[in-house]
Amino acid sequence: MRKKIVAGNWKMNLSREEALLLISGITSRIESKEKQVIFAPPFLYLYKIAKMCSNFNRIKVAAQNCSKEKEGAFTGEVSAKMIDSCNADYIIIGHSERREYFNESNMDLKEKVDRALENKLDVIFCCGESLNQRKNEVHFSWIRKQLSDSLFHLNAIDFSNIVIAYEPIWAIGTGVTASTNQAQEMHAFIRSCITEKHDTEVAEKTSILYGGSCNPSNSNELFAQEDIDGGLIGGASLNANDFLAIINSF
Ligand code: PGA
């Protein structure tokens, strides 16, 4: 059975005090035993939050990015090795904000994926199309290219450490969510690309999360779709009640 996952991507939000309050507000009230919950705080709080979550089997911690370099003279960068030494479990790689504002190419992301896996970290790999690409009906080929350029060099064993997050750019932080049909259709397509590259067994084991204005009022319907295995949540992960409601909406 595929892992059901709800991950909160805090992006560049919350002071240290606010972050710690949010974590204790959520961990003290989590009931679900069968879902995996992931917090992706800014780097600065990673070590502390990993420590706070270490008593909870089902709670994992993710970094929001890593350097494609292993180590060395790269002022301001953070390596996968550092992230691993702070006891994180995952790295989010290829978020559309990183692709767009920091010019991260599919080839850069491929290197980042390799750095994460070398350090025994799992990857939440984000893919997604712009509104124009959807209007021009190139969204399927675009997603296939994102996957094949950055992930399809991996063998099946390494691929088992990859979670995919489909995040249509036009739905991120906009309040516009993909319809359940649009989301399910793309998730099924992503799974078919994995089947083509590997086989059905690998594809059936890969968790594919939806991201983009997911909130307590739409998560239920989205997560009920056959190929949607949970969510990567931005805005709504900053509020304990909303995030808990999303976790409980499976
Ligand atoms: P959003 O962000 O939930 O605020 O739309 C999702 C994401 O960017 O991961």
Tens digit of pLDDT for each residue in 66-92? 999 999 999 999 999 999 999 999 999
Within its chain, how far is the Cα of 238 from the centroid?
16
**Beta strands 90-93; 59-63: pairing state:** parallel
- The yes-or-no verdict on residue 32 having pLDDT over 80 is no
One-letter amino acid at 244 equals L
- The Cα–Cα gap between 37 and 234 comes to 14
Q: Could you tell me the distance, in angstroms and rounded to a whole number, from the CA of residue 176 to the centre of ligand 1? A: 11
Nearest CA to ligand 1 atom 6: 234
pLDDT on residue 62 = 98
Catalytic site residue from 104, 111, 129, 167: 167
Average pLDDT over residues 163-187: 93
Closest CA to 38 of 204, 225, 184, 211: 211
Closest CA to 163 of 216, 99, 217, 228: 228
- The Cα–Cα gap between 89 and 235 comes to 22
Q: Could you tell me the distance, in angstroms and rounded to a whole number, from the CA of residue 173 to the centre of ligand 1? A: 5
Q: Tell me which DSSP letter residue 178 carries.
A: P
Average pLDDT over residues 128-156: 97
Helix (H) or strand (E) holding 240: helix 240-247
Q: Could you tell me the distance, in angstroms and rounded to a whole number, from the CA of residue 235 to the centre of ligand 1? A: 6
> Does residue 167 have an active-site annotation?
yes
pTM for this prediction: 0.97
One-letter amino acid at 184 equals Q
